[in-house]
Amino acid sequence: MSDQSGSFLLTTHRPAAGVVVVAVAGDLDISTAPDLDLALREVLTGDVRIVVVDLTGVAFLGSAGLGTLVSAHRRSGEPGRLRIVVPDGEIARLFRVTGLHDLLTLYLTCEQALAEE
């Protein structure tokens, strides 16, 4: 799946059975968060064990994007099923400032998120 509008790109791929990576690039804000929400709803309703949301390419993360991730976390049903990749930097700082680093399962790289079972 791929969607591109302005400075936003969302792709999904399945690197292994039961695993989906949703990669986001560009601005994740009020106009693009619904696209991510739809993608996460689709994969979380399936028989997927692990969903990795890779925010490595995100340049801007607004409150709507954060809200989408919190909602997906609540829908995921079990700890560790939804994994968020947030490299160190300004986007990672948002998770620390808001306290979401304590709620969500965060990783520095996609490889780390995929390696943990």
Angstrom distance (rounded) from CA 50 to CA 101:
18
Assign residue 111 the CATH number of its domain.
3.30.750.24
What domain count does the chain have? 1
Q: What is the pLDDT of residues 26-57, one digit of tens each?
A: 999 999 999 999 999 999 988 899 999 999 99
Q: Which domain holds residue 104?
A: 2-115
- Which residues of the chain register pLDDT less than 70? 1-6, 117
Q: What is the mean pLDDT of the chain?
A: 93
Q: What is the pTM of this model?
A: 0.92
- Residue the block writes with tokens 């943990």: 116
Handedness of CA 74, 79, 83, 87 (dihedral sign): positive
